[in-house]
Amino acid sequence: MRRRLALTAALTQSGNGDRQAFRLVYDMTAAKLFGVCLRICGERQAAEDVLQEVYLIIWKRASAYEPARGNPITWLCTIARNRALDSHRSSPPRGGNADGESDGAAAAAVSDDRPLADYLLLAEEEHGKLRHCLDDLDDRPRAAIHAAFTDGLTYADVAARSAVPLPTMKSLIRRALLRLRECMRDDG
């Protein structure tokens, strides 16, 4: 909880142009956001490039973050995910990294700051609530949510995989996300 509050405060101060606070946001989140970018981009160099863009976006949009609307790390991961997807869509596929190391091994080598025990407990509680809420969804929306937000597929990819029109898939995911939000509020 302290970590979340510290990140919220640093993000809010960053929105007011505080560079030291922004450095703290970076220090607290760089490893996690890099992992998000690497998973979607599939290549270390591309993920590093995207991560730099992500922090430029965060610096410009920090004042738009509303603490009452959700967890700061969720907001930051959404920015990273969206930017990585945009980059991945616009780039031709590339091979492994220059060291011959697999991208999975490169991702595993990235270490994150050790979270505090209370932060881990809070995160586990939130994950438990989310699992419960996901279990309440029907199979089709649950699979679409999983493909889009866990596997990092675009809505178009999810629609193609499910053999449905893109607008139908967007509506299905939007309705499922609304149900998840309601469920998370009800259970919290």
Quote the tokens at residue 75: 């907001």
d(CA 173, CA 92): 27
Contact 1, 119 (CB under 8 A): yes
The torsion angles phi and psi of 34, rounded to 5 degrees, stand at -65, -40
pLDDT the model gives residue 187? 46
The model's pLDDT over 43-63, given as tens digits with 9 standing for 90+, comes to 899 999 999 999 999 999 998
The residues, ordered by sequence, that sit 6+ positions from 187 with a Cβ below 8 Å of its Cβ are 129, 132, 133
Contacts of 168 (CB under 8 A, 6+ apart): 159
Mean pLDDT of the chain: 81
Who has greater pLDDT, 90 or 172? 172
Residue in the structure block whose two tokens are 């590093």 = 48
**Nearest Cα residue to 85 out of 53, 110, 127:** 53
What is the biggest distance separating any 2 CA atoms in the chain, rounded to whole angstroms? 49
100 vs 103: CA distance, rounded Å: 9
DSSP assignments along 117-185, one per residue:
HHHHHHHHHHHHHHHHHHHHS-HHHHHHHHHHHTS---HHHHHHHHTS-HHHHHHHHHHHHHHHHHHHH
pLDDT in the model for residue 3: 83
Share of the chain above pLDDT 70, in %: 80
Residue range 6-16, pLDDT digits in tens: 888 998 999 89
pTM, entire model: 0.51
Q: Render pLDDT for 135-148 as a digit per residue (tens, 0 to 9).
A: 889 999 999 988 88
